[in-house]
């Protein structure tokens, strides 16, 4: 089984690479990342070193190659797909961040739409068996129903980032329906944990708290977020990877966990080839509760500076994961207090606090 992970030096991508390398299945694993400077590339390079350290030379199920490059480079992708003939592609490469997308919308369209279109084209041309791609809870936008279900409307985004992720879902649907490409999109909900992104609340807050500086608390701390620990996100990806959206759910997956990677059955040509799933903790908490849990994990108190709601933000996120649990026997289960304790332990070690 030959697998491509785009955005392999990113937060979720690096954790997925480690999980796959640890599986000891007969995998050939290729990762691609442009190592851009949206946040400190040193953190991405440290993640890559961690991946390289996990490779055991000569072990059948532990073959790995890193490619420095960008998914907006269609020629590079074509060469890569022609060389490796991937069975599974997991597209995690993206320009991320809702607020930043308001200031730099062109960069988001280039990376998230044009880049993803290049991935779709390569998957179509080289007949990839299954494409799994990262969407986002941000596509729900101003949705007022809770919890958010995959069938809810997603036509009211509030940031360019959210709009690009909705566009990805639509493009994926087109390629599935038109070319029979088997595609599964995953809507991630507020991912956190060790090796996290420096632009997200856990890292921003931890840095300020440890330095004795104030943290910015928007909307009076009343915002609700469905925080999801990164290991739960990765477990969801791995389970979905082994079973394409072919109407044969369960052929490669059991409620006890991931079974063998090879495709257990050949999907019928007429079977549905597109699916979307939420992956979220399903336990939204107020921002003030999150801060209190982080304070406890770090052993320090925060100085809070209250600010109004920011453009591009939504008041609440809340995942309905019943479809994921029904089809794959899995739902995120690591509680916030435990996840923040693991994050805080890593943060203090990595940054020498």
Active site residues: 161
d(CA 40, CA 9): 12
CB contact set of 308 (below 8 Å; sequence gap of 6+) = 218, 219
CA gap 285, 190 in Å, rounded? 11
Query: What is the layout of strands, in order, in the sheet containing 183-188?
Result: 63-68, 28-33, 2-6, 88-91, 130-136, 183-188, 274-279
User: What gap in Å lies between CA 197 and CA 300, rounded to an integer?
Assistant: 21
Distance CA 239, CA 229 (A): 16
- 65 in helix, strand or coil? strand
174 Cβ partners below 8 Å, 6+ apart?
none
Measured over the CA atoms of residue 239, residue 243, residue 245 and residue 247, the dihedral's sign is: negative
Residues in the chain: 353
Q: Which residue has the tokens 């979307």?
A: 276
Quote the tokens at residue 103.
């200031």
Cβ within 8 Å of residue 37, ≥6 positions away: none
Instruction: Specify which residues 218 forms β-bridges with.
Output: 307
Q: How far apart are CA 249 and CA 260, in angstroms?
A: 14
Q: What is the DSSP letter of 316?
A: B
In contact, 21 and 55? CB cutoff 8 Å: yes
Helix (H/G/I), strand (E/B), else coil: 68: strand
């Amino acid at each position: 089984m030959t697998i491509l992970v785009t955005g392999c030096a990113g937060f979720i991508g690096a954790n997925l690479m480690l999980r796959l390398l640890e599986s000891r299945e007969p995998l050939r694993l290729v990762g691609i990342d442009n190592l851009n400077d949206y946040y400190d590339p040193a953190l991405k390079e440290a993640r890559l070193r961690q991946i390289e350290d996990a490779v055991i030379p000569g072990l059948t199920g532990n073959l790995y190659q890193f490619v420095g490059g960008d998914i907006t480079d269609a020629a590079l992708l074509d060469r890569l797909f022609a060389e490796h003939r991937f069975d599974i592609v997991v597209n995690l490469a993206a320009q991320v961040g809702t607020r930043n997308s308001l200031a730099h919308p062109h960069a988001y369209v280039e990376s998230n739409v044009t880049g993803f279109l290049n991935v779709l084209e390569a998957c179509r041309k080289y007949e990839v068996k299954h494409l799994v791609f990262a969407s986002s809870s941000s596509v729900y936008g101003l949705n007022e129903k809770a919890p958010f279900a995959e069938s809810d409307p997603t036509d009211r985004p509030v940031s360019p980032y959210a709009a690009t992720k909705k566009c990805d879902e639509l493009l994926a649907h087109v390629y599935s329906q038109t070319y029979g490409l088997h595609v599964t999109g995953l809507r991630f909900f507020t991912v956190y944990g060790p090796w996290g992104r420096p632009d997200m609340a856990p890292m921003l807050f931890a840095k300020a708290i440890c330095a004795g500086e104030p943290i910015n608390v928007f909307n009076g701390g009343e915002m609700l977020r469905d925080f999801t620990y990164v290991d739960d996100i990765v477990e969801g990806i791995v389970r979905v990877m082994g079973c394409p959206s072919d109407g044969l759910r369960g052929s490669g997956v059991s409620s006890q966990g991931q079974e063998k990677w090879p495709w257990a059955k050949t999907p019928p040509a007429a079977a549905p080839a597109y699916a979307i799933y939420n992956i979220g903790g399903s336990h939204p908490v107020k921002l003030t509760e999150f801060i209190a849990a982080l304070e406890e994990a770090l052993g320090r108190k925060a100085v809070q500076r209250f600010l109004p709601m920011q453009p591009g933000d939504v008041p609440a996120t809340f995942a309905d994961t019943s479809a994921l649990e029904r089809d794959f026997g899995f739902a995120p289960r690591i509680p916030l207090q435990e996840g923040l304790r693991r994050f805080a332990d890593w943060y203090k070690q990595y940054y020498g606090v």
